[in-house]
């Protein structure tokens, strides 16, 4: 007797995996990223349900991999979040949308990705949402108005306030605080916040549960015959190869590590030790705020010229990285930045001196620093800023990027990553370097 394959469900912050299992026995996976639906389709599950997926920091699910699954005879459903958005876009091709959020996207009532996007914790925290989804805020305000807890003018004002908050910062306390600052009645706003906390209206959760129940009820329903033929373009073929390579890379890891221990520069081994120490030092810390995390990802991509999503996908494939691992490493990079910014600068600088001496760089750097000191004193100050040197800040930063690499995502973040206590200290150091360079040219 053959065993019926389970449906594969991509689920994260919309509903916990524990709660989901109360409604459907399935193969539960983290939020979907580029390549995940393709790999799922190759397993020939009874169905694929996309609820949650990644949006910004890593490449999102390709439309074409959903179409590939449908063409392969797999029923593909979408609901609640990324799934609702993709189902609205691909409904005409056979992807099945479920729930109110899908209907709102399909009708055009909703258009923006940020309506369903939230900041969430890591896998170990069951992708717990940290910010509030705009669709949930709309739903709560609609219910509150229906129950006369707010009037129509308050409803409209709160809706506008919520929408104008950048999604990583979008939480109910901030919405209420902004509403009170805008002149809405304090007592009524605090009452609304209390009601939201007590009742927890959550349309994303409700749509996710509805989708799970529908899959449970449908059981082994016959797949929908596709009404299209998927074009195997060169880009699609490259994508399939990249995803397949990532999926097969794990088996070679052991042999690769043995070789790396023999061949890799010792600096790489020391960097691995540093990363391990960072992990055990920060394992109990709250994950970085979404906006800061995104800044780290943006800086990483700018430094490596991975500006287009397809470029990042190819780079990940070439580097043997999958999407979840890349996300984890970027989180660690942000934690390193935060550790550098929060720890004793004097202690770090003493350690830096020791490392320079061990690396044999001390005399070279000391000579250059002395030349910079002389050049700075020539303009009348030991701590020159661009205006003291007669240089526009934009011109100075352009020179810096040409000499030392990209400043990303912004000057303040870059300065902190380089170990400067302030942006002013960074500008002083760059101005000194530029003055010394100008002196050498003359």
Q: Are residues 88 and 130 in the same domain?
A: no
The pLDDT assigned to 197 comes to: 92
Q: Are residues 63 and 177 in the same domain?
A: no
- In eight-state DSSP terms, residue 123 is G
Burial tier of 138 (Cβ tally within 10 Å: 0-12, 13-18, 19+) = buried
Q: Are residues 255 and 388 in the same domain?
A: no
Q: Are residues 45 and 185 in the same domain?
A: no
Tell me the whole-structure pTM to 2 decimals. Answer: 0.58
Q: Are residues 329 and 365 in the same domain?
A: no
Q: Is residue 258 part of a domain?
A: yes
- In eight-state DSSP terms, residue 109 is S
Q: How many domains does the chain have?
A: 4
Q: Are residues 16 and 29 in the same domain?
A: yes
Helices (H) and strands (E) in the chain, counts: 21, 5
Dist CA 284 CA 382 (whole Å):
42
Identify the three-state secondary structure at position 28: strand
Lowest-pLDDT choice from 246-255, 274-283, 384-393: 246-255
Q: Is residue 52 part of a domain?
A: yes
Listed ranges 72-86, 219-233, 308-322, 426-440; the one with the highest mean pLDDT: 72-86
Q: Is residue 25 part of a domain?
A: yes
Q: Is residue 303 part of a domain?
A: yes
The pLDDT assigned to 265 comes to: 64
Q: Are residues 333 and 253 in the same domain?
A: yes
Lowest-pLDDT choice from 20-24, 335-339, 391-395, 405-409: 335-339
Q: Which of the four pLDDT bands, split at 50, 70 and 90, describes residue 371? A: confident
Phi, psi for 372 (deg, rounded to 5): -65, -35
Q: Are residues 189 and 277 in the same domain?
A: no
Q: Is residue 358 part of a domain?
A: yes
Side-chain-facing half-sphere of 204: CA atoms under 13 Å: 27
Q: Could you tell me which residue, 151 or 358, shows the higher pLDDT?
A: 151
Q: Is residue 323 part of a domain?
A: yes
Per residue in 374-407, pLDDT (tens digit) is 888 888 888 889 888 888 989 999 998 888 887 8
Q: Is residue 43 part of a domain?
A: yes
Q: Are residues 364 and 353 in the same domain?
A: yes
Per residue in 177-235, pLDDT (tens digit) is 999 999 999 999 999 999 999 999 999 999 999 999 998 877 555 666 677 777 777 77
Range of the structural domain that residue 424 is part of: 345-441
Phi, psi for 3 (deg, rounded to 5): -95, 125
Which positions ≥6 away from 335 have C-beta within 8 Å? 278, 282, 285, 288
């Amino acid at each position: 007797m053959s065993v019926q394959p389970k449906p594969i469900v991509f689920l994260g912050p919309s509903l916990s995996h524990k709660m989901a299992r109360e409604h459907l026995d399935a193969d539960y996976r983290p939020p979907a990223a580029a390549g995940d639906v393709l790999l799922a389709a190759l397993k020939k599950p009874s169905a694929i349900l996309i609820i949650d997926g990644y949006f910004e920091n890593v490449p999102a699910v390709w439309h074409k991999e959903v179409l590939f699954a449908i063409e392969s005879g797999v029923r593909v459903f979408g609901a609640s979040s990324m799934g609702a958005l993709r189902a609205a876009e691909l409904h005409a091709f056979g992807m099945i949308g479920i729930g109110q959020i899908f209907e709102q996207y399909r009708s055009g009532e909703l258009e923006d990705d940020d309506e369903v996007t939230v900041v969430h914790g890591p896998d170990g925290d069951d992708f717990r949402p940290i910010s509030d989804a705009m669709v949930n805020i709309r739903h709560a305000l609609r219910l509150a108005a229906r129950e006369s807890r707010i009037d129509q003018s308050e409803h409209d004002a709160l809706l506008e306030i919520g929408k104008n908050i950048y999604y990583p910062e979008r939480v109910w306390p901030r919405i209420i605080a902004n509403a009170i600052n805008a002149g809405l009645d304090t007592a009524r706003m605090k009452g609304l916040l209390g009601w939201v906390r007590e009742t927890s209206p959550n349309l994303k959760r409700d749509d996710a549960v509805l989708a799970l129940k529908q899959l449970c009820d449908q059981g082994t329903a016959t797949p929908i015959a596709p009404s299209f033929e998927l074009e195997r373009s060169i880009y699609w073929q490259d994508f399939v190869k990249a995803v397949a390579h990532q999926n097969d890379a794990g088996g070679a890891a052991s042999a690769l590590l043995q070789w790396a221990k023999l061949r890799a520069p010792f600096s790489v081994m020391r960097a691995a030790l540093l990363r391990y120490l960072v992990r055990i030092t920060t394992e109990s810390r709250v994950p970085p705020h979404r906006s800061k995390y995104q800044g780290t990802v943006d800086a990483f991509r700018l430094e490596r010229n991975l500006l287009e999503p397809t470029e990042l996908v190819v780079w990940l494939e070439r580097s043997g990285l999958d999407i979840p691992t890349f996300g984890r490493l970027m989180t660690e990079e942000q934690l390193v930045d935060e550790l550098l910014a929060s720890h004793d600068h004097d202690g770090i600088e003493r350690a830096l001196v020791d490392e320079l001496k061990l690396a044999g760089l001390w005399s070279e750097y000391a000579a250059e620093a002395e030349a910079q000191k002389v050049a700075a004193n020539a303009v009348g100050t030991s701590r020159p800023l661009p205006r003291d040197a007669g240089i526009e800040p934009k011109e100075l930063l352009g020179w810096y990027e040409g000499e030392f690499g990209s400043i990303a995502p912004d000057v303040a973040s870059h300065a902190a990553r380089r170990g400067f206590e302030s942006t002013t200290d960074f500008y002083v150091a760059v101005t000194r370097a530029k003055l010394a360079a100008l002196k050498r040219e003359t």
